[in-house]
A = this chain, B = another copy of it.
Amino acid sequence: MRQIGLNEVEDIARGAALLGAGGGGDPYIGKLVTVGAIKECGPVTLLDPEEVPDDALIAPFAMMGAPTVLAEKSLSGEEYKALFDIMSNRFGKKIYATMPMEAGGLNSMLPIATAARLGLPMVDCDGMGRAFPELQMVTFTIGGISATPMGLADEKGNVVMMETITNKWTEDIGRAITMACGGSVSITLFPMTGKQMKEYGVKGIVTRSQKLGEAIRNVKNVTDKTPEEAFLEFTEGFKLFKGKICDVLRETRGAFNFGKVVVEGIGECKGSQAYVEFQNENLACYVNGEIVATTPDLICLVDTETFNPVPTDALKYGKRVMIVGLKCFPMWRIPEGIELVGPRYFGVDTDYIPIEERCKGGWK
């Protein structure tokens, strides 16, 4: 158990945006909302998963929608309470704690703001260890845990509660509601017991985000190696490419951002070209036409100077980026995980090969 205050929020936002693998929402918006909540209501207690009783009711909190929309259409501040009230009424039980569903600039932050505003603790755990575009794409789905009852609330005051027969139906109906409400809504879903959270969750993800964020902040202060070496070492990242963004194709469709970013090599990558396909999150990275990394491993674009993560909705012509691959949470690599979030689900026509195997022999 420890406290999350303003200093911690800064680092968590930066680190979680890296783990967002391009998605998970804008870290700037996430930080603004959370800093406001902590300033007003005080710091938040972060619980270690093992501190949560087995029978406690955990209600995760997130926003659903296209990141580009989330950046312009934020919360009213009334959503938390509306959602948690209907959820606790539904179970006839007080909510013990909240938690994030995914790592990402926005969706790592909002549960902190929720916890602050409602006076709840937050658990150091999520259901992805990264961000994914669809809500059934969590380790809890592999564990057979239902995404519903799920609550959705928009900033105007519309509230929806649903119970579905599968988690894919939750996604499909939830996505339709999100679009009807203007492209983004606040949600609480996957209500679960402490026991389920401990069995299937990605534990320690908030702390990991914070450490990554802290390391990125200090990357230039490392004395015995270059910032890039330091960054790759503490992230345990695989350097996939380095270059200048020369094209961004983007389309908001079905409350998702679909697109592709093309990068012209610079430095040791000069003469080569890479591109990354995304659906909110980065899905696959190609260098000179060859796949070098795919989902569920993390494909992250970072600024070549600051090493700050660059989410898909902040991609801009001319920006210099390094493309880095990170190993995903091990549960994603079992057959049920690959079925849920592997390359073929997203229409990338290749088997999943772990990034450490694809990158064996070093960068070409």
- Chain A residues with CB under 8 Å of chain B are 156-165, 169, 172-173, 175-177, 179-181
Q: Are A160 and B161 in touch, CB under 8 angstroms?
A: yes
Apart from A156-B169, A176-B179: 12 A-B pairs, beta carbons within 8 A: A157-B164, A158-B164, A158-B165, A158-B169, A159-B162, A160-B162, A160-B163, A173-B177, A173-B180, A173-B181, A175-B180, A177-B177
Bound CA span A231–B169, Å: 48
A-B pairs with lowest CB-CB distance, top 5: A176-B180, A176-B176, A160-B162, A157-B165, A158-B164
Bound CA span A157–B180, Å: 22
Q: Are A160 and B173 in touch, CB under 8 angstroms?
A: yes
Q: Are A165 and B156 in touch, CB under 8 angstroms?
A: yes
Given contacts A172-B180, A176-B180, contact A162 B161 (CB under 8 A): yes
In the complex formed, the residue of B with least CB distance to A162 is B160
Question: In the complex, what residues of B have CB within 8 A of residue A176's CB?
Answer: 176-177, 179-180
Q: List 10 A-B contacts (CB under 8 A).
A: A156-B169, A157-B164, A158-B162, A158-B169, A160-B160, A160-B173, A161-B161, A173-B181, A175-B180, A177-B177
- Rounded to whole Å, the gap between the CB of A245 and the closest CB of chain B is 35
Q: How many copies does the complex hold?
A: 2
Question: In the complex, what residues of B have CB within 8 A of residue A177's CB?
Answer: 173, 176-177, 180
Question: In the complex, what residues of B have CB within 8 A of residue A175's CB?
Answer: 180
Bound CA span A273–B173, Å: 44
Question: In the complex, what residues of B have CB within 8 A of residue A159's CB?
Answer: 162-164
In the complex formed, the residue of B with least CB distance to A170 is B158
- Rounded to whole Å, the gap between the CB of A89 and the closest CB of chain B is 10
Bound CA span A180–B180, Å: 11
Q: Are B173 and A158 in touch, CB under 8 angstroms?
A: yes
Bound CA span A157–B165, Å: 6
Question: In the complex, what residues of B have CB within 8 A of residue A173's CB?
Answer: 158, 160, 177, 180-181
- Rounded to whole Å, the gap between the CB of A92 and the closest CB of chain B is 11
Question: In the complex, what residues of B have CB within 8 A of residue A169's CB?
Answer: 156, 158
In the complex formed, the residue of B with least CB distance to A182 is B172
Bound CA span A176–B176, Å: 5
Bound CA span A334–B157, Å: 30
